[in-house]
Amino acid sequence: MGVVLIVAGALAWIAVSFGLRTRAPKVVVAAVLAGSGALLAAGGLLVQDGVTDAEWILTLSWMAVAACLQTRMMLGPFGKPSPVSGTVSPRR
Tens of pLDDT, residue by residue over 28-50, are 999 999 999 999 999 999 999 99
Q: Where are the domains of the chain?
A: 2-75
pTM as predicted? 0.83
Amino acid identity, residue 86? G
Let me know: does 48 contact 20? Beta carbons within 8 Å. no
Amino acid identity, residue 12? A
pLDDT in tens, 51-92: 999 999 999 999 999 999 999 999 988 887 777 655 555 666
Let me know: does 8 contact 39? Beta carbons within 8 Å. yes
Phi-psi region of 76 (alpha: psi -120 to 50; beta: other; left: phi over 0): left
